[in-house]
Amino acid sequence: MAFHEKSAWWMLIALSVLSVLYANALFGLSGDGQIPPPNVPVLIRYTVALVIVAVIGHIIIAATAPSDANAEPDERERKIFDRAGRISGFVFGFGVVSAMLFYLFQSNGDALFYGVFACLVASQLVEYLVKIYLYRTALD
Amino acid sequence: MAKAFPISNRVREVREQRGDMTQSDLGKLVGVTRQTIAAIEQERYSPSLETAFRIAREFGVSIDSLFSWKEDA
């Protein structure tokens, strides 16, 4: 398995698990079933945990194949990254526009924040998934 | 369903005739990863013209003896 594919697998799992934990933490703050306002300490903990997990994971992956880790992406990998980035961008753009439209009608700033944040996470997850798919299938 | 590529190749066949040349060796010689050489050999990826020329040059053969267009594609 290529270094960048391992990286995509690692980040897909890490981001999924930590995002579920983050959502659980938010629901824990919500006593009455309402969306709680954005909580900076929880967000910072989530971000720091994600960075630490990402760094540790990449150190482990790189240690298993140092030459692969130092290599630049080749022509096929660049094509995979471009396609994954484009699809991820569509997801993010569509989500942000949807969140803005929701805000226009509901005027709920908290929902806007969470909507955009969820789109950011979803677009990253889509990017990792598309990369993994393209690594394993035919690429024209 | 796997996508049918219009270009077939003899990269695996010619590489195996070289005996001890691995996909990784060929990848290093032409500047792509082992996984990309595997994808080319399995016809899951058509290389750029530059990479196709590099592979042909490493084998010392012409590009049209290595890559061919499938007429039924």
Q: Which residues contact B70 (CB under 8 A, 6 or more apart)?
A: B5, B6, B7, B8
Domain region containing A57: 3-136
Shortest CA gap A111–chain B (Å): 40
- Contact residues on chain B for A135, CB-CB shorter than 8 A: 35
Write down all domains in chain B, each with its CATH number in brackets: 7-64 (1.10.260.40)
A4-19 confidence digits (pLDDT tens): 899 999 999 999 999 9
Q: Which residues pair with B66 in a beta bridge?
A: none
Test A2 with B39 for CB contact under 8 angstroms.
no
Shortest CA gap A121–chain B (Å): 28
Angle between helix A109-136 and helix A3-29 axes, rounded to 10 deg: 160
Q: Is the pLDDT of residue B1 over 70?
A: no
ipTM beyond cut 0.85: no
Say how many C-beta atoms besides its own lie within 10 A of residue A106's C-beta.
10
- Contact residues on chain B for A1, CB-CB shorter than 8 A: 35
- The answer, as to whether pTM is greater than 0.80, is yes
Q: Which residues contact A118 (CB under 8 A, 6 or more apart)?
A: A95
Shortest CA gap A138–chain B (Å): 4
B8-49 confidence digits (pLDDT tens): 899 999 999 888 889 999 999 999 999 999 999 999 899 999
